[in-house]
Structure 1
Amino acid sequence: MRFSVLILGLLPLLAFAADDGDGKAPSKPDTLPAIQPPFDFNGIIEKGLMDNLHPTPSHIKYLTGNKMPTDCMAHAKEKNHGPDEFEVFEVYYEDCHVPWVMCRLKDTHVNATTMADTFGRMPLGMREFVKHVILFKPKDLPGAAAWDAGDVIAISEDSFRLYVLAHEMSHSIDAHIEVPGVTPSGKGGLSSSKRWAEQYALDNATVSDYARTLWAENLAETGIIALYNIVVPNGVANLQHNSPRQVFHQYATYTTYYRDIITPGKNQTCKQRVPDSKMVYWPDIASDGVPTETRTKKVGITLMEPGAFDENVTFVQPPAR
């Protein structure tokens, strides 16, 4: 029996306390230490995801004439890049009727084929909440591996990994998905709910040191472990030297609410695909080319209406082991 099946079966009995009561959650998830030794995100976890998340068949169509999504243009301008520096392309995956438009700096070492292959390995239920992926040089994202703004993932060429995508996509899931009885009706926000804080308090550690910085980051980092546990044979049992039971309630709670979204093959309809930003020709547009409504701030989660989160956060790459 898989370790994940055994422990998840216990979740309704030992995890969920009622959402009423007077207890207040700490302002951020730093009352627990990070798990020791640290999870090997760059090594065993990334390899497990690569070996077990298979590419979705796809084909690429390159766009010409400086045509690109408004969001790509806005973020490129913010980084002082010009239109000729970018390669823009559509990726058509066989599991969705709508392509994803991606943008990459031409001098990055990750090519369009690798971008399409890597992104296409992620479960469709997670990909649906991403508008665009923009590939930058590390200098464009100082101190960060990636960030998410308005359903757009900007990511460094040195950090284009499945576990980084899982982190960013978890922010979008958290922001978009209503959890009945836990988040406000029609809104996301599991990470900021009392339920999530209660489950956190039942554990002995967080999944990483970065998971201690903000509640949204705690959930996003936990999403990496939850995805690993779902797709890799034997799941977290492969990580026994880290004593994953110390973080059980966090990844089990994430899995309980988002299982169908993060399980490959569960979602084959592509009905929740977020709409792309408007296509424009840059620089052949009026004014400064950035409509007011596209000026979203960089945050660790997708901006929602009304905003479910407002922290200015990024994802910091864990050190290589």
Structure 2
Amino acid sequence: MLFSSAFLVTLLGIAGVQADLKDKLAYPNGLHDKVDAGIIQHTNPEQHNIKKWNNGLIPSGCKVRFTELGINPQNTEVYNVTYAHGCLQPWIFCRANNSPVDIKTMASLFGRIPLHMRALVRHPISVPDDSCSALAYTDRGDIVFKGNCKTPSVWIHETGHQMDAMLKPNDAESGSQAWKTALSKDSCVPDSYANVNAVEDFAQVTVIALYKVITGSIPKPSVPGCFSNQLNTILNKYRAKYLIYGGICEGKVPPSRFVRKDAQDRVALEEEDKNKTVACGVKFEVD
């Protein structure tokens, strides 16, 4: 599946974003078609166990996300997904009943991401939509996939936003002087998604950085080395801790507190929404 033509859906809490970072793209026809097959070929999903909740409860973070999107929390499903290695605590996944992405696919795609990247995500969430788009709530750790998002690079991209922000979006690496310097030294960014702003650029370069760790190389860009400073900045800072597979569980974002699906729990919603910041949203259109 080929994805192209990204546009910004939401940017809250990030002021003065810059559009069109560069006039050259490393992959003018889009990055995802270049990397998804290689990621699938060279990774295996971490073995995992899935257990559905049947107690009428839901994490408050999921309830807020669904409520924001106009989805009745009673028409949703909650699952514990426990991966075999590195972390005894399960991740709590949430999905709307009619989401086009089933829980087995969600758990499998998430399980292709290295453990310490996964640990930065609180709740993976899936909801229906006509096409694939995604949001990263970088002060909470939630990643929301709208529509038929079944390609690993999209999941890596959204997890990359969490690696960028580390729950502190105002101090994100993509806003640092180091990232600005890397951008200034390079003549291109990966693709049109990356060209929206530095936040999206960081997430797309993260996809390529992980691809390089997985396969040992990157897809041939339009101009050799045109984004090497961005790529090396991520590899130098994050490779050893976040991009290498294996390890033990540490720093896992804890789940939000549990509330009843059918309760009008305004306290929980207001508490969850307090000072909320959404890092970004990108729509992935199918050619």
TM-score range, shorter chain: 0.7 to 0.9
The residue number in structure 2 matching 1:92 is 82
Long gaps (5+) in structure 2: 1-15
Secondary structure at the aligned position of 2:49 is classed as strand
The DSSP-based 3-state class of the residue aligned with 1:240 is coil
Aligned length: 269
Change over 3 Å in CA distance of 1:91–1:221 after alignment to 2: same
CA distance in 1, matches of 2:233, 2:208: 12
Q: Per chain length, whose mean CA-contact separation is higher, i.e. which structure has more relative contact order (CA < 8 Å, sep 6+)?
A: 2
Q: Distance in 2 between matches of 1:235 and 1:290?
A: 45
Question: Which residue in the other structure is 2:263 paired with?
Answer: 284
The runs of 4+ residues in structure 1 deviating greater than 6 Å are none
Give the unaligned 5+ runs of structure 1: 1-25, 179-186, 301-312
| Whole-angstrom distance in 1 between the partners of 2:57 and 2:211 | 37
- Cα distance change on mapping 1:108 and 1:91 into 2, 3 Å: same
1:132 aligned to 123, 139, 150, which one? 123
1:145 matched residue in structure 2: 133
Task: Find the partner of 1:119 among 96, 110, 113.
Answer: 110
What amino acid sits opposite 2:127 in the alignment?
F
User: Aligned partners of 1:295 and 1:72: how far apart in 2?
Assistant: 15
Task: Indicate the residue corresponding to 2:12 in structure 1.
Answer: none
Q: Is residue 230 from structure 1 mapped to residue 218 from structure 2 by the alignment?
A: no
TM-score (norm 2): 0.84
Report 1:151-300 matches (<5 A): 151-176=141-166, 188-232=171-215, 234-236=216-218, 239-240=219-220, 242-266=222-246, 268-284=247-263, 286-287=265-266, 290-295=269-274, 297=276, 299-300=278-279
Larger strand percent: 2
Residue 291 (structure 1) shift: 3.0
Deviations 1:99-153 (A, max 9, x none): 00111112223211111111111000110000001101125xxx87100112100
Identical-pair percentage:
25
After superposition, the C-alpha distances for 1:205-246 in whole angstroms (9 at most, x for unaligned) are 1111222222212211111111111112x411xx22533511
SS of 1:259's equivalent?
A: helix
> How far did 1:188 drift?
4.6
Q: What is the root-mean-square deviation in Å for CA atoms of aligned residues?
A: 2.6
**Alpha-carbon distance in structure 2 between the residues aligned to 1:121 and 1:217:** 21
- The one-letter amino acid of 1:159's match is C
TM-score (norm 1): 0.76
Flag the structure with larger Rg: 1
